[in-house]
Chains A and B, each alone.
Chain A
Amino acid sequence: NAGVTQTPKFQVLKTGQSMTLQCAQDMNHNSMYWYRQDPGMGLRLIYYSASEGTTDKGEVPNGYNVSRLNKREFSLRLESAAPSQTSVYFCASKGGWGAGELFFGEGSRLTVL
């Protein structure tokens, strides 16, 4: 049971470099999310996709882009990384419509130098 799989688990970038965080879920869930977690700040929503073909901004979308490639995959792209984007990134998914449990991936730790 893979659940939600994120790659890579660790990445070090230099300021200005670009990269894409990949996320895939095998639970046939409609909704997918990208959160970032910083010490003392909890989890902040970057972007989410309520269903295949739709994406919406969360609390902290600046500096990021997303693609809902298909029902399974939701990627997060940093076009020009900045040190302020050093964080742990979590992808999550939710089945059904409306309220419900979020299933999280194991996280991707990104450091921008």
Chain B
Amino acid sequence: GQQVMQIPQYQHVQEGEDFTTYCNSSTTLSNIQWYKQRPGGHPVFLIQLVKSGEVKKQKRLTFQFGEAKKNSSLHITATQTTDVGTYFCAGPPGTASKLTFGTGTRLQVTL
């Protein structure tokens, strides 16, 4: 079955440093979504990318979908303590009704 891996599993940065998490799928994805889960909370949708090579920005967050539609990245510029949490990518292996989540990257930000 489809596997979606994320690296790194964990990253600890100081506030103001940049952060990037990478997502790799074993199969081609029709689209990819990113979610953020705060400690003790539930996943919250951030964004969806559909086109090959697509790049989208949300303030300090930049999302990219690979040309082959098998990988994606999330980059945060100048992290803040509010960025703390686990970031998940997710994509449908075939039928668009079903999402497979990546293993997640936990981000810790300290002052």
Residues on A lying within 8 angstroms of B by beta carbon are 31, 33, 35, 40-45, 48, 50, 56, 58-59, 90, 92, 94, 97-107
Task: Mark contacts of B28-57 with chain A using CB atoms, 8 A cut-off: 1 yes-contact digit, 0 otherwise.
Answer: 001101010000011111001010000000
The SS class assigned to the B binding surface is loop
Further 7 A-B residue pairs, CB within 8 A, beyond A48-B97, A101-B45 = A40-B103, A42-B103, A90-B42, A99-B30, A99-B33, A100-B48, A104-B43
- Tell me the bound Cα distance from A98 to B104 in angstroms: 23
Q: Are A105 and B100 in contact (CB under 8 A)?
A: no
Q: Are A99 and B43 in contact (CB under 8 A)?
A: no
Residues in A whose Cβ lies below 8 Å from that of B50 = 99
The 5 closest A-B pairs by CB, nearest first: A43-B101, A98-B96, A104-B42, A101-B45, A50-B97
Q: Are B1 and A99 in contact (CB under 8 A)?
A: no
B32 to chain A, nearest CB (A): 9
- Tell me the bound Cα distance from A33 to B97 in angstroms: 10
Residues in A whose Cβ lies below 8 Å from that of B63 = none
Residues in A whose Cβ lies below 8 Å from that of B43 = 43, 90, 92, 102, 104
Residues in A whose Cβ lies below 8 Å from that of B31 = 99
Residues in A whose Cβ lies below 8 Å from that of B42 = 90, 104-107
Q: Are B101 and A48 in contact (CB under 8 A)?
A: no
- Tell me the bound Cα distance from A44 to B98 in angstroms: 11
For A48, give its contact among B1, B88, B98 (CB under 8 Å): B98
